[in-house]
């Protein structure tokens, strides 16, 4: 069953992404105000969802599990590392798609808006996390310091989320729901938006799984190399 689900993950991801593109470009009508530009709503929010909540959230939870002695393991550290790399990719994509949307809407590619700036800071923190991992050769020290850094960096996520409420910003407020939780988008547009979230969630799972497998292979390779080096030393000592 597990093997079957692993084999289905890739095709399901590809099909859902293709359906999102088809429905977003062909099935759904243009927006009354923004016209075809509003079709970015089927891409940008879902990418931001993966960047801020899924991938960065996974890295944070995995880091907390590593810091807690009862759940501390190499797996938690590896998951945090892999999820942070995926998060950085999606943070960059979030900023790029946001800029493409913002240029015709605001008249500029970039503005020091509260949400844009805090999102960019999150990207810098993700880069800092990855740099911190490269700065430590001791696996235990590296994992502990990286976990602490990830948890502290996660404080910026709720700041991004509530920035449009706490400050007067150019960035629009809630896209899907109004303040009283009623839908702003209906019909084929709502279904396409929902499909985009499902598609990019599946893409995140696929990318995280693929990156984790690479990390496992790297760990096995390093362990094998170390074992070979130790065996050579023993032989040299015997002679």
**pLDDT tens digit at each of 239 positions of the chain:** 454 466 788 889 999 999 999 998 888 888 777 777 778 888 999 999 999 999 999 999 999 999 998 988 989 999 999 999 999 999 999 999 988 887 887 778 878 888 888 999 999 999 999 999 988 778 889 999 999 999 999 999 999 888 877 777 766 665 555 445 556 666 788 888 999 999 999 999 999 999 998 888 887 666 555 454 545 666 655 55
**Domain-located, residue 135:** yes
Please answer whether residues 118 and 90 qualify as being in contact, where contact means their C-beta atoms are separated by less than 8 angstroms. no
pLDDT at 4: 43
pLDDT at 53: 93
Residue entry with tokens 């449009």: 164
Domain containing 204: what range? 10-213
Strand partners, 183: 177
Q: What's the number of domains the chain is made of? A: 1
The CA-to-CA distance between both ends of the chain, in Å, stands at 52
Sequential DSSP letters for 21-37: HHIIIIISPPBTTTBGG
**Domain-located, residue 234:** no
**Domain-located, residue 28:** yes
CB burial of residue 102 (10 Å; 0-12, 13-18, 19+) = buried
d(CA 173, CA 228): 58
**Domain-located, residue 126:** yes
**Cα–Cα nearest to 34, from 115, 113, 116, 101:** 101
* Global pTM value: 0.83
What's the CATH code of the domain at 133? 1.20.120
pLDDT at 226: 47
Angstrom CA distances, 177 to 61, 112, 122, 184, stand at: 27, 25, 25, 5
pLDDT at 79: 95
Cα-based angle 60, 141, 77 (whole degrees, multiple of 5): 35
**Domain-located, residue 221:** no
Strand partners, 31: 35
**Cα–Cα nearest to 194, from 14, 24, 65:** 24
**Domain-located, residue 239:** no
d(CA 222, CA 216): 10
**Domain-located, residue 180:** yes
pLDDT at 155: 94
pLDDT at 145: 94
**Domain-located, residue 176:** yes
Q: Where are the alpha helices (DSSP H) in the chain?
A: 2-22, 44-48, 56-67, 74-106, 114-134, 139-153, 156-166, 187-238
């Amino acid at each position: 069953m597990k093997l079957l689900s692993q084999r289905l993950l890739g095709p399901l991801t590809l099909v859902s992404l293709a359906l999102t593109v088809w429905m977003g470009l062909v099935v759904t009508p243009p927006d009354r105000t923004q016209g075809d530009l509003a079709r970015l709503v089927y891409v940008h929010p879902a990418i931001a969802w993966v960047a801020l909540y899924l991938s960065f959230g996974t890295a944070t939870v995995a880091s907390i599990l590593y810091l807690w002695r009862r759940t501390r393991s190499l797996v938690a550290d590896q998951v945090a590392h892999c999820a942070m790399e995926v998060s950085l990719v999606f943070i960059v994509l979030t900023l790029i798609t946001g800029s493409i949307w913002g240029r015709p809407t605001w008249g500029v590619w970039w503005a020091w808006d509260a949400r844009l700036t805090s999102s960019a800071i999150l990207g810098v923190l993700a880069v800092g996390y990855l740099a911190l991992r490269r700065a430590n050769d001791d696996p235990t020290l590296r994992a502990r310091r990286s976990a602490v850094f990830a948890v502290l960096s996660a404080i910026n996520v709720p700041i991004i989320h509530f920035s449009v409420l706490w400050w007067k910003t150019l960035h629009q407020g809630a896209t899907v729901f109004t303040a009283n939780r009623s839908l702003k988008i209906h019909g084929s547009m709502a279904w396409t938006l929902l499909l985009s979230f499902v598609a990019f969630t599946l893409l995140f799972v696929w990318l995280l799984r693929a990156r984790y497998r690479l990390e496992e292979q790297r760990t096995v390779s390093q362990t094998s190399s170390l074992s070979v080096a130790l065996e050579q030393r023993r032989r040299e000592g015997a002679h």
